[in-house]
Amino acid sequence: MYSRLMSASSTSERLIEATRELLWERGYVGTSPKAIQQAAGAGQGSMYHHFTGKPDLALAAIRRTAEELRAGAEKVLGGEGSAYARIEAYLLRERDVLRGCPVGRLTMDPDVVADAELRAPVDETLDWLRGRLAGIVQEGLDSGELAGGLRPEEVAAAVVATVQGGYVLARASGSPATFDQAVRGLLALLSSRTR
């Protein structure tokens, strides 16, 4: 975390990056302005010069995290290959499984969920991901690669649920093996529907 923070050129960038990391590690309540300032190497005056307060800074951090997640997913989902191959690549891409999803974890934070403005980038990102995956499943159905009878929105929801649930299982067990099992199980089900 700190090497990325030190490479951030401006104080506002360091504050956003510090907040992103702290939200991922501690959640909203556990991310105090003082902790943000310490991690960013910035004073209170600097923080309030760039942001109106913790909610404003947290929103900027959540938006940045959501944008990064979408860009990373799109890199894989928008790549070459069949519908199944792109979904497989998304499911098998490298992740820090034991840390969990920096966006998905925010859905478990009562303060984020209770605040419509903080929750919006989380909702938008998960909606985008389900929509993107449903579109790929539809491509597979249209090309005849995937067997008929699959409902794109349901498959997309299952993919997202497998990833997010896999994170929970891995964190609970302290091992990425349970995440891998969930992904392999879903891929086996999907591959049985390819032609």
Please check whether residues 129 and 150 belong to one and the same domain.
yes
Structural domain total, the chain = 2
Please check whether residues 147 and 187 belong to one and the same domain.
yes
Please check whether residues 20 and 104 belong to one and the same domain.
no
Please check whether residues 76 and 41 belong to one and the same domain.
no
Note the pLDDT of residue 2. Answer: 47
Q: What's the rounded mean pLDDT across residues 11-18?
A: 94
pLDDT digits (tens, 9 = 90+) for 148-179: 899 999 999 999 999 999 999 999 999 999 99
CA gap 25, 168 in Å, rounded: 14
Q: Is 56 inside any structural domain?
A: no
Q: What's the rounded mean pLDDT across residues 6-21?
A: 83
Question: Model pTM?
Answer: 0.90
Would you give the distance in Å from CA 52 to the centre of its chain? 26
Please check whether residues 72 and 47 belong to one and the same domain.
no
**pLDDT > 70? residue 4:** no
Please check whether residues 2 and 38 belong to one and the same domain.
yes
Q: Name the nearest CA neighbour of 186 among 148, 157, 144.
A: 157
CA gap 99, 26 in Å, rounded: 11
- The range of the structural domain enclosing residue 177 comes to 63-191
- Of the listed ranges 1-5, 32-36, 73-77, 138-142, the one predicted with least confidence: 1-5
Note the pLDDT of residue 9. Answer: 64
Beta-carbon contacts of 190 under 8 Å, excluding residues fewer than 6 positions away, are: 84, 87, 88, 155
Q: Is 116 inside any structural domain?
A: yes
